[in-house]
C-alpha cells in the first residue's frame, strides 16, 4: 500500500463518492474532474482569475493615470478617492498596482514559456539520445543547477542592462532581459523531469508498437511520448510562473529591475520601504498581492499534481 498514500495533504481523501456513476470521456475531462476535488486549488484558481482579470481590464475601469502627481494627497491612507492610498508623489496606488500587475504577470508567464521550452527540448534530446549527448546535456543541467541564481541574475543584469536599453528602449529592453534571464536560469528541473519521463516511456509497449509500425523518431516523440510526459511538466510550469514572479519582484525590490517610472509590484515595494513608519499601506498592498498571487499559483500546482497523478484514486 506504499504507493496509495496521497501526496497532497490539502485534498480531502474521502471525497470520492459518486465518481463512479459519471461517464468520463477524455483525459482532459478526467483531469478537470479530479482537479475540482481539490477545493483549495479550485478556490485559488478563482482568486487568481480575479487578479488576472483586474490586471487586464482594471486600467479601463479605473482610469486615473499611473503618473498623475498630486502633492495635496501625498502618502494619504486608503480612502474612497484612492482605495489603496497614494505614494510620496500623490500618485494613485490602485492604478499603479493594476498596471504593475500586468507586467508582473506577463513576466511570470513569458519566463515560464522560455523555461519550459528550453527544458522540454533539452530533456527530450537527452532522453532520446543515448551516450555522450545525454551525458553532456545532463552535465550541463547539473552545472546550471549549481550556479548561484540570484547573484548571476544580478550580474547579467548589471552587465547587459544599459546596452539593451539603448537598443530597444527602456521598457522592452528590461522586459526582454528579465524574461530571458529568469527563464534561462529555471529550465533545469524541467529538463531532468522530461528526461526521466522519456527514459521510462521510451521502453513502453505502445512506443515499441509505434516503432514497429514504422513511425519516425520525431513522430514517436511528438505523437506518443511527449503527450504522456506532459502532466508533470504542466505542474512544473505552474510553479515556474510563481517562481518567476518572485524573481522579478526580488530584482525590482533590490532596485535593479524595472526603472522607477514602470511600477511593477516589486518596484512599488522597493519605493515604499523607506516610508514604512508613516505609510505602511504603501508597502502592504503590493506585498500582499505578490504573496496572494504566488500562494494561489502554488495551490493550483498542487491541485494539478493530484489531478495528473494516475496512481491516485480520487
Partner 1 sequence: MTQYLLRRLLIAVPSLLGISLVLFSVLALAPGDPFGELAANPNVPPEVAAELRRKFGMDDPVLVRYWSWLTAMLQGSWGFSFVSRMDVDLLILQRLPTTLLVIGSSQLLALAIALPVGIYAATRPYSIFDQIASTLAFIGFSLPTFFTGIVLILIFSITLDWLPFVYRADIAETGWRFYWEHFRQMIMPVTVLGLFQAGSWTRYVRSAVLDVIRLDYVTTARSKGLPERVVIAKHVVRNALIPVVTLVALQMPAIFGGAIVTEQIFRVPGIGSLLISAMLANDTPVIMAVTFVFSVLVILCNLLADLLYGWLDPRISYR
**Interface with partner 1 (CB under 8 A):** 1-2, 5, 7, 9-10, 13, 139, 142-143, 145-152, 154-156, 158-160, 162-163, 242, 246, 249-250, 253-256, 266, 269, 273, 276-277, 280, 283-284, 287-288, 290-291, 294-295, 298-299, 302
Distances (CA, A) of 36 to 29, 118, 301: 11, 31, 13
23 vs 159, beta carbon nearer partner 1: 159
CA distance 312 to 314: 6
Distances (CA, A) of 204 to 31, 198, 225: 22, 10, 9
Residue 40: CB minimum distance to partner 1, A = 8
Residue 148: CB minimum distance to partner 1, A = 4
CA distance 181 to 96: 25
Q: Which neighbouring-strand residues pair with 92?
A: 86
Residue 64: CB minimum distance to partner 1, A = 25
Q: Transcribe 221-271 into DSSP letters.
A: IIIIIHHHHHHHHHHHHHHHHHHHHHHHHHHHHTT-SS-TTS--HHHHHHH
Residue 311: CB minimum distance to partner 1, A = 13
Residue 25: CB minimum distance to partner 1, A = 31
Amino acid at each position: 500500500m506504499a504507493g496509495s498514500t496521497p501526496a497532497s495533504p490539502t485534498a480531502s481523501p474521502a471525497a470520492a463518492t459518486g465518481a463512479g456513476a459519471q461517464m468520463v470521456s477524455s483525459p482532459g475531462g478526467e483531469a478537470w474532474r479530479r482537479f475540482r476535488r481539490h477545493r483549495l486549488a479550485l478556490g485559488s484558481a478563482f482568486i487568481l482569475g480575479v487578479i488576472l482579470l483586474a490586471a487586464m481590464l482594471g486600467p479601463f475601469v479605473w482610469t486615473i493615470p499611473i503618473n498623475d502627481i498630486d502633492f495635496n494627497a501625498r502618502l494619504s491612507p486608503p480612502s474612497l478617492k484612492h482605495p489603496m492610498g497614494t505614494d510620496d508623489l500623490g500618485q494613485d496606488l490602485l492604478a499603479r498596482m493594476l498596471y504593475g500587475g500586468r507586467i508582473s504577470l506577463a513576466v511570470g508567464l513569458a519566463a515560464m514559456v522560455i523555461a519550459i521550452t528550453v527544458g522540454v527540448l533539452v530533456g527530450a534530446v537527452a532522453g532520446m539520445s543515448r551516450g555522450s549527448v545525454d551525458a553532456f546535456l545532463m552535465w550541463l543541467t547539473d552545472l546550471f543547477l549549481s550556479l548561484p541564481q540570484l547573484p548571476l541574475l544580478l550580474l547579467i543584469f548589471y552587465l547587459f542592462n544599459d546596452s539593451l536599453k539603448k537598443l530597444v528602449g527602456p521598457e522592452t529592453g528590461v522586459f526582454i532581459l528579465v524574461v530571458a534571464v529568469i527563464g534561462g536560469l529555471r529550465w533545469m528541473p524541467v529538463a531532468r523531469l522530461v528526461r526521466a519521463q522519456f527514459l521510462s516511456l521510451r521502453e513502453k509497449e505502445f512506443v515499441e508498437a509505434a516503432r514497429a509500425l514504422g513511425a519516425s523518431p520525431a513522430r514517436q516523440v511528438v505523437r506518443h511520448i511527449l503527450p504522456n510526459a506532459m502532466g508533470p511538466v504542466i505542474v512544473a510550469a505552474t510553479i515556474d510562473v510563481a517562481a518567476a514572479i518572485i524573481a522579478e519582484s526580488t530584482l525590482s525590490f533590490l532596485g535593479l529591475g524595472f526603472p522607477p517610472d514602470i511600477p511593477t509590484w516589486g518596484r512599488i515595494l522597493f519605493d515604499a520601504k523607506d516610508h514604512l513608519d508613516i505609510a505602511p499601506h504603501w508597502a502592504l498592498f503590493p506585498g500582499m498581492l505578490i504573496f496572494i498571487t504566488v500562494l494561489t499559483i502554488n495551490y493550483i500546482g498542487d491541485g494539478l499534481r493530484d489531478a495528473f497523478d494516475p496512481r491516485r484514486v480520487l
